[in-house]
Structure 1
Amino acid sequence: MQRLEHLWSLPQAQDKPALHFGLSLPATPAPEKGWPLLCLLDGDWTWPIALASDHPALSQCAVLYPYYGGTPAHIRLCRAWDYTPSNTQGQAWPDPRVPEWQCGGADTFLAVLRAELTTLTHTYPQLDRRRISLFGHSYAGLFVLYALMRDLAPVQHFICASPSLWWRAPYIWHQLDSWSGKSDSAFTLIAGCDEKWYPHAQQGSAPRQGGIATLALMQRLQSTVQPKVEHSRFITLEQAGHGQVLAQATLAALALAQKSLSDA
């Protein structure tokens, strides 16, 4: 399946890693209303690995994917910075589980993403401005929640998979409690039935023991957000742990991005 690929990089502050973007468009003529656009925050992990280039759903959707490149360790460090909020003084703070990771760049990343999306919708007339979705998993899922509460125009559908709710808990819960809602948005939460939280980060590839099941926490999140948005849904993935959710949720997000807001 042929696609048109556009790649660019943004200048960064001297002490920050480079941020790259890719826009992938179907090579066929756009429909009358234009292509829906899915912003895929987990580009380093999922594009094009989880989304096979010949997947039929790709023929009907444009994909924007921010990415960092480099080693997995470098990518995780970058994600920890861009996808997490600053402290109450607007300053950086260390990750609670991996102290060498600095956190707190979410507002800057939000501004960058808003500018890029606005530019794209004006530059590419083949994009449907009424069907723009944002998808993220884990730390990126936490960012999707943050972006929903900060009104990331022109995104209408916020698709959140296995968000890292444990990150400096109860920070995100306090934010949700004080948030008045967004009545013109759709929210989809995706979670694996076998997901667990561990107090320590993964070390190598050895399987982890114990852990705390998180499905009930995801159900609580859904019930908290549901009354504050126009449309919402909760998708559970059977026999899926945290790692398995990423690929399955990415494909689900691709299908959801093609729906109208009322169908989402």
Structure 2
Amino acid sequence: MLEEIRTKVMNRFPKVVAFADSWTNDISPMAMSVLNTNVEMSMRVEIKWNGDIGYEVKDGRYKHVVNLIQGTCTYKILALKGIPCAHAIAIMHHDEANPLDAVSTGYRKETYLRAYGNFLQLTTNMEMCPETSNPKVEPPPIRKMPGRPSKKRKKELGEVSGCGKLSKKGKIMRCSVCKSTNHNIRTCPNKPPATSKGVATSQVSTSGKKSRAHIEKQMLQARVVKEVPRSNLIRLNPLKQCNNLNPLNHFKQQWKVAVVVEVKKVQEINLRG
């Protein structure tokens, strides 16, 4: 790769020198294009002289101050690019000066050729290079660092964790009672008093009663299916007391009776709720 870069740069230098020979004057074509554009713009400005070294140039609704001795203009293009702006060119035409003389030396042919004057010399193949007796440069030995190695990468400043939750950084926290930002529910002055069970009296509503009745209903339904063991049915009505009945039929009848009793309890709770 380095050999390809060296070859490309070596072949580019002769083309750069040939391009400099095609210039029509001592200034580069790019700088001349910008200068010609500023010359056309300088024909639309008005000049006022203070009698000393300063000029006031009016360009539309803007006014700029130009000092040719110091080489400054309040438009700042002259100091930024090194090419005279339209205001400076208008003053040069007023003083019968040549704007080409005010162009920076970085755009001139002499500076351009000096930058590309050091040509790259030819080299032989690496296989033909002489061998050295000096020791080879080896990488430093690997040293085990103390402590357990980290498995997670170091996160950047302000990076959220990858747990799937949004960060609360920058979010305004408010009290759930009075919606103020100065405190939370624990230190809220408008917090309602709590009951003996730790629940605020104002928070108890009919929806809470219905939810408790619904939970009790679900528990009874689960007890009908799961918590009525066969041993209890047999213990209440032993098979040895029913000599004239089929044991299997007797068990089914007792199971149905237990289910009917539990269903009645559920219906009573629904009526109360």
Q: TM tier, shorter chain?
A: under 0.3
Give the alignment's TM-score, normalised by structure 1: 0.16
Which one has a larger percent strand, Structure 1 or Structure 2?
Answer: 1
Give the alignment's TM-score, normalised by structure 2: 0.16
| Structure with the greater alpha carbon radius of gyration | 2
Higher RCO (CA 8 Å, separation ≥ 6 residues): 1
Which one has a larger percent helix, Structure 1 or Structure 2?
Answer: 2
